[in-house]
Structure 1
Amino acid sequence: MNMMIDVTSADGHVLDCWLAEAAGDRRGGIVILQEIFGVTDQLKGVAARFAAEGYDVAIPALFDRQQKGAVIPFSEAPKGRDLMLATDLNAVMSDIDATVAMLAARGGKVAVLGFCWGGGLALRAAQVSDVACAVPFYGTRLDAYQIAPLVAPVQGHWGAEDSHVPPAMLDAARAYWPDMEVYTYDGAGHAFANDARPADHVAAAADLAFGRASEFIGRHI
């Protein structure tokens, strides 16, 4: 069953959250952390993919504090960037933690998996949140999170031609978090796993990355 539910953060803020319930025997939970475009149909498709593997999957609406129900077209990235820049990291992490707790209450361990902005947030969750593991896909703003060690295992995926994460930034992240498992994909740039963006999507890289992520999450959950 797929549905939009309410999640209440520690400060009383109520945010929307897309929930895709596990098919078959439940293995645990996964929180998907959004790009700068909100809770898109494409992310709901990713949720369905992991729900089919036996996970309850939640996508918290991390822009709800700025604009309730905001879903930005992929062609209007500056709007999404402005909303992202207006967020407060501590408030966002509180909303993520509330979503993790909601899934944990349903039973089992919880992983986080994030894309773009959400990929960076997944790294932050691996520092400060009660998660089994974290998987950033082309996580951005990596230097902003180089303030603490990772306390949960992390597996990251970046395109070798990602203009948002140049090699020097990724090299610095690898040096700062030497235990982070990193995969790069030749011929892929930013958003290579987003099948709703044909100009960016690289199917072979995406399939390989999702397969690795599924194995990694399954191992830690």
Structure 2
Amino acid sequence: MVIINNEHVDLETPSGVMRTHIVRPAAAGKYPGLIFFSEIFQITAPIRRTAAMLAGHGYIVAMPEVYHEFEPAGTILAYDQAGSDRGNYLKTAKSVAAYDADTRAILDYLKMRPDCTGKLGAMGICMGGHLAFRAAMEPDVAGTVCFYGTDIHSGTLGEGKHDDSMARAAEITGELFMAWGRQDPHVPTEGRMKILARLNELNIRLNWHEVNGAHAFLRDEGVRYDPELAHSLMSLVYDFFHRKLAQGDLPV
């Protein structure tokens, strides 16, 4: 049985102090570090439960409050129309450079923790899937999991609804795990194929999964949750991170 500890740290970033929630195994020892990006609603109960599952498999999981410039520490947006409207507004009020600086601050923090092995990965859901995709561009991120990352295909993340994620995908040196719901209107077939073509063009080390699921099929709350898909894909995620961050790549 793995017991989970919960804590938080307030990290300095160029755009202000960022509350970052940490879950990790309680047992003494060193563990790989994961940065886990939430949906637009920040650190909700479903995000915490997913993070606890990751930590229970032997990782230090850091969850940033991505809207720390705009909302008081500890703010959680509700899964309703008002929360969605606020989250979608803030998504394009913050600059891409600020998102990237937040990522770098968390990765540097994880590496300096005495209980971290120095091996780093990233994971994100929805908007967080896009932020994880950008985290994969950091040279010390060995493995990245993106669940239905929004706005990658359209280049509309951040202030001005303009990002360079597709262009900068060439900077990804680690391995990607991309998961999509085929019934997700936010990332239609043509959008997914645009991303896939770009990653194939770059010969990125890639695991590509498409399932018959809606947007937010991973979230264990609400009508779109699909427990079977969530369980099967998260099992693959645990194997992926174990191979990339715990064992390291085995020779072919």
TM over 0.5: yes
Please identify, of 69-78 and 200-209, the stretch whose mean Cα deviation from structure 2 is larger.
69-78
**1:22–1:57 Cα contact (<8 Å) kept:** no
Equivalent residues in 2 for 1:126-137 (5 A)? 126-128=136-138, 130-137=140-147
Q: 1:26 to 1:53 in 2, by over 3 A?
A: farther
**2:16–2:68 Cα contact (<8 Å) kept:** no
Check if 1:167 corresponds to 2:189.
yes
Q: Distance in 1 between matches of 2:104 and 2:26?
A: 24
Please identify, of 19-28 and 131-140, the stretch whose mean Cα deviation from structure 2 is larger.
19-28
Q: Distance in 2 between matches of 1:46 and 1:104?
A: 22
Partner residue, 1:203? 227
**Aligned pair count?**
218
The structural deviation recorded for 1:23 is: 4.0
Q: Secondary structure at the match of 2:141?
A: coil
Q: Distance in 2 between matches of 1:68 and 1:99?
A: 19
The structural deviation recorded for 1:89 is: 0.9
Q: Secondary structure at the match of 1:44?
A: helix
2:77 is matched with which residue: 48, 72, 80? Answer: 72
TM-score calculated relative to the size of structure 1: 0.94
1:35 is matched with which residue: 27, 39, 44? Answer: 39
Superposition RMSD in Å? 1.4
Partner residue, 2:121? 111
- CA-to-aligned-CA distance 1:118-148 (integer Å, 9 cap, x gap): 1011111112353121100111111222112
More strand by percentage: 2
1:50 is matched with which residue: 41, 47, 54? Answer: 54
Q: 1:200 to 1:129 in 2, by over 3 A?
A: farther
The structural deviation recorded for 1:160 is: 1.2
Q: Distance in 1 between matches of 2:40 and 2:19?
A: 16
**2:6–2:22 Cα contact (<8 Å) kept:** yes
**2:15–2:69 Cα contact (<8 Å) kept:** no
Gaps of 5+ in 2: 156-164, 246-252
**2:15–2:98 Cα contact (<8 Å) kept:** no
TM-score calculated relative to the size of structure 2: 0.82
Partner residue, 1:190? 215
Amino acid corresponding to residue 71 of structure 1 in structure 2: I
- CA-to-aligned-CA distance 1:55-104 (integer Å, 9 cap, x gap): 11110111001212331101131111011111111111111111111112
Q: Which has the larger radius of gyration?
A: 2
Check if 1:21 corresponds to 2:24.
yes
Q: Distance in 2 between matches of 1:67 and 1:16?
A: 11
Please identify, of 147-156 and 163-172, the stretch whose mean Cα deviation from structure 2 is larger.
147-156
Q: Distance in 2 between matches of 1:94 and 1:185?
A: 33
- CA-to-aligned-CA distance 1:159-179 (integer Å, 9 cap, x gap): 111111001000010000123
Q: 1:159 to 1:64 in 2, by over 3 A?
A: same
Amino acid corresponding to residue 119 of structure 1 in structure 2: G
